[in-house]
Amino acid sequence: MSGTVKVCHLITTLELGGAQDNTLHTVRGLRAPFQASLIAGPGGLLDEEARSIPGVEVRFERSLVRPIRPWRDLRAVAALTRALKRLRPDIVHTHSSKAGIVGRAAARAARVPIIVHSIHGFGFHDGQPAWLRTGLIGLERAAAPLTTHFVAVSRANLERGAALGIVAPERATVIRSGIHIDAFVAAAAVAGAPGRASLRRELGLPDGTPLVGMVACLKPQKAPLDFVDAAARVSAARPEVRFVMVGDGELRPAVEARARAVGLEGRLHLLGWRRDIPEVMAALDIVVLTSLWEGLPRVVPEAIAAGRPVVATAVDGTAEILRDGDNALVAAPGDKVGIAARIARLLSEPDLGPRLVGKARPLLSEFDIDAMVRAQESLYRRLLEDAARRGVPRAA
């Protein structure tokens, strides 16, 4: 492998989320001979951060949007094809379902030699109407032959993709979604003093108030209403406990309405989007995640790095690393009673949380964000070497 290797990452929008943060960290951290560029749909909270990355060409394509819009999506394929023909990347690496479909089609049309797609969880799920779910699976199957290699954040996603005829296991690799471990460890180191007190002061709560929180986008996947209902059950028995939700999204009005309906006004605090997640996480006593489906949510290893016990639902990659009663407390998705019972147990058994965290800490070695970038570089090298052996020319 000689000369500069151009790698173009393509993602639907740069909202606050694990896939987006990982993508920005990758394009920022790729080392020579790799030279990164980035294409995304506009309007994300991380757009300005992307523009500020030195040496990385960033393009925002207006036709690339999250909702399914057939004519607009066709325009996105055409626009992305033009952009890729101009950039002439050796590798296109797509992220998220929409960018994965239109981006892989554009990369093939632009004759990009190597096309990589990362699965951060699938865009289809069992809660969708059958016609929609079937259609989305069909699109993923159609895009599969365009893909040189798949990357997934969890083995569960790869196994499901293989079972549905979307992923060829021999062309797939698991690379965990990395986190900034040191930032969470450092925040936890001071959490006994300013870390814990500062968030409680912000919320007008006395020091020592038990604080249970969820860090997630307020969208159907994360089932935030299940968190509200579980919180109401806990609050009925433990009225001194307070709850926080960090994030925002389409279900915020429904969350606010449900909180009023179940009597959580003044006890549930919606913090919106935050950039100080390590400090917020370290201020919590318990971290909860009520997702109905997932890739492998970064909030789980983040909580572990911050030394906070986790109550989560047993879905996809989460169930892959967490074991109920061993390194976390885990309930079935949608089991609001079970989630509440597990929160209550952690509140009533102060020795349990540290014991669970201690058993979970060995997991962190899989989630270092810089190791994630190095693993992608290694994959790119393997794919380039394989392409060279097969006589596939580099980009002109």
DSSP secondary structure string for all residues of 248-284? --TTHHHHHHHHHHTT-TTTEEEEES-S-HHHHHHH-
pLDDT at 16: 82
Q: What is the pLDDT confidence band of residue 396, given thresholds at 50, 70 and 90?
A: low
- How far is residue 55's CA from residue 170's CA, in Å, rounded to a whole number? 34
Does the domain spanning 5-178+368-389 belong to CATH 3.40.50.2000?
Answer: yes
Kindly report the pTM of this predicted structure: 0.90
Distant-in-sequence, close-in-space partners of 4: CB < 8 Å, separation ≥ 6? 32, 33, 34, 35
- The enclosing H or E element of 104 equals helix 97-109
Q: What angle do CA 166, 170, 174 make, to 5 degrees?
A: 80
pLDDT digit string (tens) for 279-337? 999 999 999 999 998 888 899 999 999 999 999 999 988 999 999 999 999 999 999 99
Assess whether pLDDT exceeds 70 at residue 360: yes
Q: What is the pLDDT confidence band of residue 68, given thresholds at 50, 70 and 90?
A: confident
Assess whether pLDDT exceeds 70 at residue 76: yes
Assess whether pLDDT exceeds 70 at residue 167: yes
pLDDT digit string (tens) for 92-138? 999 988 999 999 999 999 999 999 999 988 888 777 888 988 999 99
pLDDT at 125: 78
Q: In the chain, which segments carry CATH 3.40.50.2000?
A: 5-178+368-389, 181-366
Residue-averaged pLDDT of the chain: 93
Average of per-residue pLDDT across 358-367:
94
- How far is residue 283's CA from residue 308's CA, in Å, rounded to a whole number? 9
pLDDT at 122: 86
Pairing of strands 57-60, 149-152: unpaired
Superfamily in which the 181-366 domain is placed by CATH: Glycogen Phosphorylase B; (3.40.50.2000)
pLDDT at 165: 93
CA proximity to 254, closest of 232, 223, 289: 223
- How far is residue 351's CA from residue 336's CA, in Å, rounded to a whole number? 24
Q: What angle do CA 157, 160, 166 make, to 5 degrees?
A: 95
pLDDT at 2: 66
Contact criterion met (CB below 8 Å) for 384 and 114: yes
Contact criterion met (CB below 8 Å) for 211 and 235: no
CA distances to 17, 286, 364 from 371, in Å? 19, 28, 11
- Cis preceding linkage at 33, omega within 30: yes
- Kindly state the tokens that stand for 386: 């394989």
- How far is residue 330's CA from residue 338's CA, in Å, rounded to a whole number? 8
pLDDT digit string (tens) for 174-228? 999 999 999 999 998 886 654 567 889 899 999 889 999 999 999 999 999 999 9
* Residue 375: CB atoms within 10 Å: 17
- How far is residue 98's CA from residue 53's CA, in Å, rounded to a whole number? 24
